[in-house]
Structure 1
Amino acid sequence: MEEKLVNILNEMDEYLNIAQMKKLQEVLLKNLTENVAAKVEITNADYLQMFLASKQIEGCSERTLQYYRVTVERFFQSISSPIRKITTEEIRGYLSNYQQNNRCSKVTVDNIRRNISSFFSWLEEEDYILKSPMRRIHKIKTKQQVKEIISDEAIEQLRDHCACTRDLAMIDLLYSTGIRVGELVNLNISDVDFEERECVVFGKGDKERKVYFDAKSKLHLQKYLSSR
């Protein structure tokens, strides 16, 4: 019987993902094995590993995966109950205690809530649990601060202190397009279309988008490239 189960799992390996393979193994052992000694149990740590594998396939960055891992592992350290037995009240208590013990802001606590909610939503979608205990825990209200914008005078001061054409091109391109510094660093010449005054940048999660720059940025960028 064990050999047959192994053959079935090997044949299905190329068609199913890690989570589905785990579930298939559990169902086969439960229904087909003769004289089952004990039901195969998936630990909380196993569920977390399957969740991270799923998020990796979806294209989440290593930084995001690490954030998920740390958040959920800390949650498991405080709540040792099996996944199927964790209640809404336990999670509410954990979030409340976390905020009090760490004296963190509502924004930080809401980020933790969102990560844990993503984990339980995945468990529900994969049919590991019937209903996510996070459904009744809503987004934590936080203050929305209006960010200050840089003034025209400040931009001119930045331009005046540029020591070379490279710095001036960088300042104008950042200000004109609104792209992130990391996106500017990864920008290639082939990504820039001077005729249309546009460039293709890759943001968080390797998402591609077009941004547009003004005539001043075009002139300074072309001057810098010709001087290299």
Structure 2
Amino acid sequence: MEKYIMEIEQNMVNLLDNMEMEKLHSVLINTFIGLTIIENKNKEDTLDKELNYCDMFIYAKKVEGCSIRSIKYYQSTIENMMKVIPKQVKHITTDDIRKYLGDYNKNSNCSKITIDNIRRIISSFFSWLEEENYILKSPVRRIHKIKTEKVVKETYTDESIEIMRDNCSEIRDLAIIDLLNSTGMRVGELVRLNISDINFNERESIVFGKGDKQRKVYFDAKTKIHLQSYLNSRSDNNEALFVSLLKPHKRLEISGVEIRLRKLGKKLNINKVHPHKFRRTLATRAIDKGMPIEQVQQLLGHSKIDTTLQYAMVNQNNVKSSHRKYIS
């Protein structure tokens, strides 16, 4: 009975105001009291109908400019929820979502961060359905952000960076490390760069970030020198800034950068060497040296300043010095 009342109200949401909706709800409750409803529906038709909601949401995210990686994560998360909860989207309740998240956490033994990411995506899906008037109210509204432990993520020390630079067997790898370290760009942005995107005179480059948003990044003198040395050593005609070492010298992919850096880290016994760590290191270093957080935000291409604050780990020694300077 509750499901059918909800479905009737969903269909009337665009036609009635709040007062009229309350009256309709009261009438439906009184009308259905004592009645038994027997369902006889084709399960396959229902499933096809549900997948359409997911497809429409994914199309909307594509139009918004979300990355392919994000799109795949959204789609798999939503489709998995819809397979586990045997209901039409319009009939899914807050308790259904809570049970799903609880069971997922129990069965997969994943972290609270993972569960909160799933909650966030499901919330985004139902909020979109609500905004598009496919449902009356998102069932995830009352499910709050899951509290997670704040993990202090590592950054590279100056010594670690210099050790990696000194032990690069290829000039290409040295140029990659220098560019990541001095610009803080994402690895996905790095592999999309073409030679023509680099302005050596100004030591800057235009990169395409998430949602194809353009921004300028800047590199230092030693990065310029090693980039030029790398380009001068190449004999291919590929327009890509970084290419594979072996013929036919195709554009380097994200996995290629990650594997190369991981091998270098293992060889030198440096903990957790990966491209994204350079980005976090730059943010931390910039804030420690007094760069305004708004400028760090622009440098990293974050749409929200909260994201920038999560990247930057403030040096405790600087906090102590500031306390003595401004308070003591």
Letter in 1 for 2:59: A
Q: What value does the CA root-mean-square deviation take over the aligned residues? A: 2.2
User: For this pair of structures, how many residues does the alignment match?
Assistant: 190
Spell out, residue by residue over 1:31-56, the C-alpha distance to the aligned partner (whole angstroms, 9 max, x if none).
xxxxxxxxxx9922221122122222
Q: Is 2:224 aligned against 1:202?
A: no
Structure 2 alignment gaps of length 5 or more? 1-10, 16-45, 235-328
Counterpart of 1:73?
79
2:126 aligned to which of 110, 120, 123: 120
1:182 aligned to which of 166, 188, 192: 188
Structure 1 alignment gaps of length 5 or more? 1-22, 28-40
Counterpart of 2:156?
150
Spell out, residue by residue over 1:47-85, the C-alpha distance to the aligned partner (whole angstroms, 9 max, x if none).
112212222222223332222222112212222222222
Structure 1 residues 97 and 173: alpha-carbon distance in aligned structure 2, compared to 1, 3 A threshold: same
Q: TM-score, normalised by structure 1?
A: 0.75
1:191 aligned to which of 197, 205, 212: 197
Counterpart of 1:170?
176
Q: Equivalent residue of 1:43, what SS?
A: helix
Counterpart of 1:218?
224
* 1:94-105 mapped onto 2 (5 Å cutoff): 94-105=100-111
Once the two structures are TM-superposed, the CA of residue 126 in structure 1 deviates from its matched residue by 0.5
Q: Where has structure 1 moved over 4 Å in runs of 4 or more?
A: none
Structure 1 residues 182 and 66: alpha-carbon distance in aligned structure 2, compared to 1, 3 A threshold: closer
Once the two structures are TM-superposed, the CA of residue 195 in structure 1 deviates from its matched residue by 2.2
Structure 1 residues 62 and 223: alpha-carbon distance in aligned structure 2, compared to 1, 3 A threshold: closer
Letter in 2 for 1:100: K
Structure 1 residues 119 and 219: alpha-carbon distance in aligned structure 2, compared to 1, 3 A threshold: same
Identity of counterpart residues, as a percentage? 61
Q: TM-score, normalised by structure 2?
A: 0.54
Q: Equivalent residue of 1:162, what SS?
A: coil
Between 158-167 and 170-179, report the one with greater CA deviation. 158-167
Task: Please tell me whether the aligned partners of residues 64 and 211 of structure 2 are also in contact (alpha carbons under 8 angstroms).
Answer: no
Letter in 2 for 1:189: I
Counterpart of 2:140?
134
Task: Please tell me whether the aligned partners of residues 65 and 210 of structure 2 are also in contact (alpha carbons under 8 angstroms).
Answer: no
- Looking at structure 1, the residues matched to 90 and 187 of structure 2 have their Cα atoms a distance apart, in angstroms, of 44
